[in-house]
Structure 1
């Protein structure tokens, strides 16, 4: 496989960093992004560009710098994202909007920024990192699920709109992987006199346990590499434990209320 120029948003840590290092080991030229370069003075895994997916001027600047250096962009991996938990009734709405700005609008800003170049090249691949959580409404993670589900559906539409440009788009939905996402997640506080205090508090502990005991994110990196080596990528890919992927099969075949009961039992609600 010839060397590809790859741009990964949120490439300084977690899944993005794992993807970047793996692709670099395979001979590709990798650029990652971070909101603040000053926080990573000794980062040497691959080159970092300063970019905030919520600020379009930083996106334009970073893409311009990359194209001036390389003259092309072959792969965009929309990986930057944030978590959010809480009872939807109690989450401040500005936090909901912030999460959509990062997880949904951010990837759209990135896609709009790179499509002209990819269209001019007559080739390109865009991989949107979504989540298995985007396929179902999860209690106390409903907003996160909504942002990822929105990106999944929107990708389906953009694929069809750009099919004549030689550009391929796809979704890659990971399950729970051992990353530092919990440290950057917005947690609605567990309010002492809230009717959600006990169930939300218990669910929060379970969510953090699932992430901390998650699989090695190298599995996501390997799947990205596999997609890059696929001539005609599928619309949707999933990567995660057997049970996480099997839960999607159950959602397709079980009555809604039965599936809902399974989730309630899982979260002990």
Structure 2
């Protein structure tokens, strides 16, 4: 019997690539979208789900269980980017980003756990970000929301281990997706003390995404995790230097590492 996979944010970007790859590998795949009717040509089944709406989450989980009878693998992929000077990002935008990148995934996990517990099996993969391992200039809120999901996974997996449910993180670097199009970015304000530097960093961030790796790398990493009997707590996928930056943060003095980031962003 094919394993049933649920991927939040499965209509575009990394989620779509992962879903299509797993579908080709023989999995029964359900993706989610806030507006699935817009993607009539999707090769995977799409159900309506808004990760910031608890009722929408419960309804989506119930729909998948009704149609497939079970959920073997949850991939928490839905997320949103956000950029801007910490001083200038509106607080409501910070909260909205955490609702999508942190509280949303937690609500989806809570909704799927009773089903996995009844099956006495399950795997949850939280898609985080290499940015979640460090506080990046003008990406501080994004770094914080993804870093929070990394840490909550460490706690969660210890609490659910007795139910034969496994949980892990997969942190991608920059990949060529449409994430920049849906990202909130604080405007570059004329006369702001951050105008020049933020404008330059924002351009650099967009260029990094445009020149990023093929998201198929993420799909293959997910497939490898699925076929691992005892998944690790943390996985990273992306360019060598992006992954190596995490190692450097671990071994270098804080100020030395900060200097590397300042040089990278030309600050």
* TM-score class, shorter: over 0.9
Q: Offset of 1:69 from its aligned partner?
A: 1.1
Q: Offset of 1:130 from its aligned partner?
A: 0.0
The residue aligned with 1:9 is: 8
SS where residue 244 of structure 1 aligns?
A: helix
Q: Offset of 1:155 from its aligned partner?
A: 0.3
SS where residue 260 of structure 1 aligns?
A: helix
The residue aligned with 1:28 is: 27
The residue aligned with 1:180 is: 178
Give matches, 1:1-269, under 5 Å: 3-40=2-39, 42-269=40-267
CA-to-partner distance for each residue in 1:119-161, whole Å, 9 max, x for gaps? Answer: 1100000000000000000000000000000000000000000
SS where residue 183 of structure 1 aligns?
A: coil
Q: CA–CA distance in 2 between the matches of 1:196 and 1:233?
A: 42
Q: CA–CA distance in 2 between the matches of 1:39 and 1:188?
A: 28
Q: CA–CA distance in 1 between the matches of 2:28 and 2:116?
A: 17
8 Å contact from structure 2 (residues 168, 232) kept in 1: yes
Q: Offset of 1:39 from its aligned partner?
A: 2.0
CA-to-partner distance for each residue in 1:25-82, whole Å, 9 max, x for gaps? Answer: 1000000000012322x22311000000000101111111111111110000000000
- Give the structure-1-normalised TM-score: 0.98
Q: CA–CA distance in 2 between the matches of 1:106 and 1:139?
A: 24
8 Å contact from structure 2 (residues 11, 36) kept in 1: no
Alignment RMSD, CA only? 0.6
8 Å contact from structure 2 (residues 173, 239) kept in 1: yes
Q: CA–CA distance in 2 between the matches of 1:262 and 1:39?
A: 43
CA-to-partner distance for each residue in 1:146-194, whole Å, 9 max, x for gaps? Answer: 0000000000000000010000000000000000000000010000010
* Unaligned ranges ≥5, structure 1: none
Q: CA–CA distance in 2 between the matches of 1:106 and 1:179?
A: 21
SS where residue 46 of structure 2 aligns?
A: strand
8 Å contact from structure 2 (residues 11, 42) kept in 1: no
- Give the structure-2-normalised TM-score: 0.99
SS where residue 181 of structure 2 aligns?
A: helix
SS where residue 69 of structure 1 aligns?
A: helix
Q: Which ranges of 4 or more aligned residues in structure 1 deviate by more than 4 Å?
A: none
- Report how many residues are paired: 267
* Unaligned ranges ≥5, structure 2: none
